[in-house]
Amino acid sequence: MKEDVRCKILAAAMQISRTEGWQALSMRKIADKIDYTAPIIYEHFANKEALMEALAMMGFKKLALLMQERSQNLDTPEEKILAMWHAYWDFAFAEKEYYQLMYGVQVNCCQFDNKGTDFELPAELIWDQIEASAWAKTKTEEDICKIYYTYWSVAHGLVSINLAKAGDINISEQISQEVFNNAMNAITNSMK
């Protein structure tokens, strides 16, 4: 019963964020949406930030699962890396509200105090494949870190530009996808 109520709360919060945006989310709105009182919401989550952190963790788990699914039948670390970054890209647009919350795009990002939790899963999956590549055999931890952050900077930057539609930038979806593909391929080719 308690877990059912928690699931209803999380589902209602996601529904509100999808229709009204994260800025409209409040404990009162969630309570109204599921026909409970606000104190019941607070029995499950200490505050709005705790609820948003739980949702972000769900997002990181979903992203990691998608990355694993997309890369599981591939042979080389490089193929797996590219597949995981494409999963990341697809997730960002299919699950926009999760992505915004997870990475602070147009919303205050959650502060994750517990290292080793689910929020690290997507990064660890890619990091592990970079370490498994032939390129990494002659590289330092710092080199691996640089290549990971090069990938992530490009991917997150392009996603953020597209989600926020920053400034007067009006780039088509096709151009954005081509830029993303070219950049990911270039970074991967630099590892050969």
CATH of the domain at 18: 1.10.10.60
- Verify that 66 and 132 share a domain, yes or no: yes
Q: What is the mean pLDDT of residues 81-94?
A: 97
Q: What is the pLDDT of residue 2?
A: 83
Range of the domain at 76: 55-189
Integer Cα distance of 129 and 126 in angstroms: 5
Q: What is the pLDDT of residue 95?
A: 95
- Verify that 59 and 151 share a domain, yes or no: yes
Computed over every residue of the chain, the mean pLDDT equals: 89
* Angle CA 110–116–117, to nearest 5: 50
Q: How confident is the model at residue 145 (pLDDT cuts 50, 70, 90)?
A: very high
Neighbours of 21 (CB within 10 A): 13
- Verify that 37 and 108 share a domain, yes or no: no
Percent of the chain predicted with pLDDT > 90: 68
Residue 138 has pLDDT above 80, yes or no: yes
- Verify that 6 and 59 share a domain, yes or no: no
Residue 50 lies in a domain: no
Q: What is the mean pLDDT of residues 76-92?
A: 97
How many domains does the chain fold into?
2
Q: How confident is the model at residue 169 (pLDDT cuts 50, 70, 90)?
A: low
CATH of the domain at 61: 1.10.357.10
| Helix/strand/coil for 112 | coil
Residue 3 lies in a domain: yes
Residue 7 lies in a domain: yes
DSSP characters over 22-61: GGG--HHHHHHHTT--HHHHHHH-SSHHHHHHHHHHHHHH
